[in-house]
Amino acid sequence: MNEMETKTQVEDSIIQESLLTCIDLANSDHQSESFLFQACLDSGFFYVINHGISEEVMDKAFEQSKNFFALPLEEKMKVLKNEKHRGYTPFYDQIPDPENQVQGDHKEGYYIGSEVPRDDPQWDYPFYGPNPWPDPDVLPGWRETMEKYHQEALRVCKAIAKLLALALDMDADYFDSPEMLGKPISTLRLLHYEGKSDPSKGIYGTGAHSDYGMMTLIATDGVLGLQICKDRNAKPQKWEYVPSIEGALVVNLGDMMQCWSNGLFRSTMHRVILNDQNRYSIPFFLEPNHDCIIECLPTCQSESNLPKYPAIKCSTYITQRYEEVHANFRSYQKHA
């Protein structure tokens, strides 16, 4: 029995469902702020309810997502991901955890970013610019559905950003300001998983990783699969399932929020384990403006608590992380 098998058997024997805090976005009192603060200290994962995204908008987004992934591969390849990181990504395209994965992630996806007008001086920046869209004759109404969901998800994230700012003793609008989120790098990602995970053989729906942005807003189809590990340094690691709650969205903080808070708030490692069922999810990734500098907030540092992370420009950090994930995949292809 090798080390990976031993580790995996111990993990699987203790997997349970995680008990996460539920934040009511319709209730902006001090108690909600306190609950959010504790959730961010504990794991950086929590649910939000009364978020304002209607069931109709949600259902339509999942319906159209399934319509796209049901297309023949040659049709999907017409909108293959471009240099702006927009478009279709085939199965096995990413390896976020090369130490434990022997195959790429068992998922296909579609990136949809916020569009910047062509006459904007930042139009040609790496994470701005136009999206490729499926042929409207093949998928009528598809673009409009996704643009609507993107708009709604961004609104929810900005509401959460206000609570996060207050929890860190900053002004409520600190993050939701022109300098921070006036022109955010915000990406909607449609995901379709299939197959059966086998951690003992290095096969995962998505390998273990932390998100590198500000926050991620996740809608799922209810099929269990998402797992979190609150202590990545524990031996063995303890993984917990994050179940779906009807009407709620899952939120997790990314590395940038951990940097802003000087390590106070958690960017927690997570993965997806499949059980031979088709699984669909729609995560929405929020990062600040392209040129925003990510550095420790003044309320999170002192003479006895100096900044733990070096300041870095948002786009520089995202580019580094994108290159890491895809370098892992290129290395895998080379040695496969």
Model pTM score:
0.93
Q: Is residue 332 part of a domain?
A: no
Residue 96 lies in a domain: yes
Assess whether pLDDT exceeds 60 at residue 203.
yes
Q: Are strands 45-49 and 249-253 parallel, antiparallel or unpaired?
A: antiparallel
Instruction: Report the DSSP beta bridge partners of residue 22.
Output: 47
The answer to whether position 2 is within a domain reads: no
Render pLDDT for 68-90 as a digit per residue (tens, 0 to 9): 999 999 999 999 999 888 999 99
Q: Does some domain include residue 1?
A: no
- The amino acid at 201: K
Two structure tokens written together for 322: 């994108």
Whole domain around residue 67: which residue ranges?
Answer: 22-327
CB 105 within 8 A of CB 94: yes
Q: Is 15 inside any structural domain?
A: no
Sheet harboring 45-49: ordered strands across?
22-24, 45-49, 249-253, 215-220, 279-289, 184-193, 107-113, 87-89
* Side-chain half-sphere exposure of 135, counting CA atoms within 13 A: 8
Per the model's pLDDT, the better-predicted residue between 30 and 180 turns out to be 180
Residue 198 inside a domain? The answer is: yes
Give the CATH number for residue 315: 2.60.120.330
In 90-148, DSSP assigns E strands to: 107-113
In a domain, 6, yes or no: no
Number of domains in the chain: 1
pLDDT band at 236 (very low <50, low <70, confident <90, very high): confident
Mean pLDDT score across all residues of the chain: 91
Tokens 């609950």 label which residue?
Answer: 35
Strand ranges across the sheet with 226-229? 16-17, 240-241, 226-229, 269-272, 206-209
Tokens matching residue 16: 């349970």
